[in-house]
Amino acid sequence: MIGNRYFSKLALMLVAACGFSASASAESIHQWKLNGWLVGAYTNDKTKQFSHCAASIKYRSGILLLFSVTKDFRWMMGFANPEWQLNKGSSYTIRYAVDGLAAQQATAVAITPKQVVAELPAKTALFQQFRQGRLLKVQGEGKSFGFSLDNTSSVLAEVLRCANRYKTHSAPVSASKNPFEKPAATASLPAPRAANNRAEAAAVTANVLSSAGIQGFSLVSDIPETLKFLDAIWKAPGVIGGLQILETQTPVTASSRRIALDAQNCQGTFASGKLPASGGAVRVMTACTANGAEARQTEYTIVQRKKGGVYMFILMANRTGQAASAPSDIGNHGTRLMDAALKSIQ
């Protein structure tokens, strides 16, 4: 009989495989237990940079199930069993379904003869299915497996929080064993947001809002601490908005990451969806309903930035000074804002 010590080792191997290529290895930043799952944050052993967070659990069948969220918020599902004899490097077509919903197809890659990893689509609805589901069924080319999804609601949320928490982590470089050798440069955290980003965001915001014909807007000069991730904030009758400059993102990755963060921060029922867009822009909507209150809806319009990266425009209903039943016009504002941004920025 194979002991728990072997499974702990296998779990760490699978954790490493889920985060990056099979040639790399993982070093643990921190590990903890949550409702029977082993959760951890890991760095790439070569770069010392944070790579991913993962959670794993062993089932009575002998199979280890693992979920992983990488530093760029890609998420993966993995399986391992010490009894398997897989062809390392081979790809296998699998189908998976939660609670009898429509089955979806994925490609599982054999990282070792004992384990496979499959990347899952960056869809909030799918992530929520795994969180809220009771049973996961996985169909391979020769056999099917079933996994109880007990506690995945808290565990997957914890893995997502973990990835967000450690996304800028850099492990300290250890002292060189050769006292005569010049030490390697110490990895550092990203520098604080440059002041010129604020200036750029203010200018772009004013230009786009004017071009969009949004009347009565005003820029907020003092950004609250909780909204420091934004580079500009503005208000207009019935709507409040912001602009964030993301220098290393694309419209697709920025929208996926924003949806994931909104899902993480929602303490109630969460929903998201794509909105009509053109000219290479991406528009998405998220909504959170908590404690029976009216859904808090946010729209994001993301367009390419000439200097690289993207501009992400954010729109929310502003009920200040309005009746609770007053209609929100953020959908119309979002369409006009996108058209103006595409014309004036690109």
Residue 329 lies in a domain: yes
One domain for residues 143 and 201: no
Mean pLDDT, the chain, as a whole number? 79
SS3 59: coil
What would you report as the CA-atom Rg of the chain, rounded to the nearest whole angstrom? 23
Residue 228 has pLDDT above 90, yes or no: no
pLDDT digits 0-9 by tens, 318-344: 655 444 433 456 667 788 888 888 887
Residue 141 has pLDDT above 90, yes or no: no
Coil, strand, or helix at residue 287?
strand
Q: Percent of the chain having pLDDT more than 70? A: 79
- Last residue within a domain, chosen from 146, 166, 186: 166
53-101 tens-digit pLDDT: 999 999 998 999 999 988 888 889 999 998 999 988 888 999 999 998 9
Query: In the structure, what pLDDT confidence band is assigned to residue 146 with cuts at 50, 70 and 90?
Result: very high
Q: What is the pLDDT of residues 269-307, one digit of tens each?
A: 888 888 888 888 999 999 888 877 777 889 999 999 988
Residues 156 and 216 in one domain: no
- Residue 262 binned pLDDT confidence (cut-offs 50, 70, 90): confident
Coarse DSSP helix, strand, coil percentages of the chain, rounded to the nearest 5 percent: 25, 35, 40
pLDDT band at residue 50 under the 50/70/90 scheme:
confident
Decide if 172 is inside a domain.
Answer: no
String of b and e for 139-175 (b: at least 16 CB within 10 Å)? eeeeeebebebebbeebbbbbbbbbbebbebbbeeee
- 301 or 48: which leads in pLDDT: 301
108 with 243, same domain: the answer is no
How many Cβ atoms sit within 10 Å of the Cβ of residue 345? 16
Question: Which of residues 72 and 232 earns the better pLDDT score?
Answer: 232
Q: Is residue 175 part of a domain?
A: no
* Amino acid sitting at position 225: E
Burial of residue 82, with CB atoms counted within 10 A of its CB: 0-12 exposed, 13-18 middle, 19 or more buried: middle
Residue 26: the pLDDT is: 58
Same domain (yes/no): 292, 210 = yes
- Measuring CA to CA, which residue among 265, 191, 260, 195 is closest to residue 232? 195
286 bridge partner residues: 272, 298
Q: What is the pLDDT of residue 72?
A: 81
* Domain that residue 311 falls in: 195-344
φ/ψ region of 255 (left if φ > 0, alpha if ψ in -120 to 50, else beta) reads: alpha
Residue 181 confidence (pLDDT): 56
User: What pLDDT sits at residue 19?
Assistant: 41
Report how far residue 109's alpha carbon sits from residue 119's, in angstroms, rounded to the nearest whole number.
Answer: 9
CA distance 243 to 40: 33
Q: In the prediction, which pLDDT does 67 show?
A: 94
Distance between CA 225 and CA 325 in Å, rounded? Answer: 29
| Domain match, 33 and 145 both | yes
Greater model confidence, 35 or 193? 35
Residues 8 and 157 in one domain: yes
Side-chain-side CA neighbours of 116 within 13 Å: the count stands at 18
Confidence of residue 44 (pLDDT cuts 50, 70, 90): confident
Q: Are 149 and 206 contained in the same domain?
A: no
In the chain, % of residues over pLDDT 90:
24
In a domain, 127, yes or no: yes
Asked whether residue 285 is domain-assigned, the answer is yes
The CA-based angle 279-284-287, given to 5 degrees, is 165
Q: What are 82's two structure tokens?
A: 């010490």
Three-state DSSP state, 261: helix
Residues 158 and 216 in one domain: no
Q: Is residue 174 part of a domain?
A: no
pLDDT at 320: 53
CATH number of 290's domain = 2.60.120
Residues 335 and 200 in one domain: yes
Same domain, 153 and 267: no
pLDDT score recorded for residue 197: 78
Q: Whole-prediction pTM value?
A: 0.49
Look at residue 147 and tell me whether its pLDDT is greater than 80: yes
182 lies in some domain: no
Q: Decide: helix, strand or coil at residue 327.
A: coil
pLDDT score at 346: 61
**pLDDT tens figures, 165-181:** 887 766 554 445 555 55
DSSP per-residue letters across 172-235: PPPPPS-TTSPPPPPP-PPPPPPHHHHHHHHHHHHHHHHHHT-TT-EE-SS--GGGTT-SEEEE
Among the candidates 112, 146, 166, a domain finishes at 166
pLDDT-derived band at 46 (thresholds 50, 70, 90) equals confident
Let me know if 64 is exposed, middle or buried by CB neighbors in 10 A (0-12, 13-18, 19+): buried
Which of 113, 145, 166 is at the close of a domain?
166
Q: How many domains does the chain have?
A: 2
Cα–Cα distances in angstroms (integers) from residue 3 to residues 32, 65, 130, in the given order? 20, 17, 29
Domain identity same for 133 and 203:
no
Q: Please, what is the end-to-end C-alpha distance for the chain in angstroms? A: 63
Give pLDDT, residue 263.
Answer: 84
CATH number at residue 84: 2.60.40.1880
177 within a domain of the structure (yes/no)? no
Q: Is the pLDDT of residue 6 over 60?
A: no
Residue 205 burial (CB < 10 Å; 0-12/13-18/19+)? buried
- Taking only the tens place, the pLDDT of each residue in 194-203 is 566 788 888 8
Pair 50, 151 in one domain: yes
Q: Give the span between the Cα atoms of 63 and 84, in whole angstroms.
A: 10
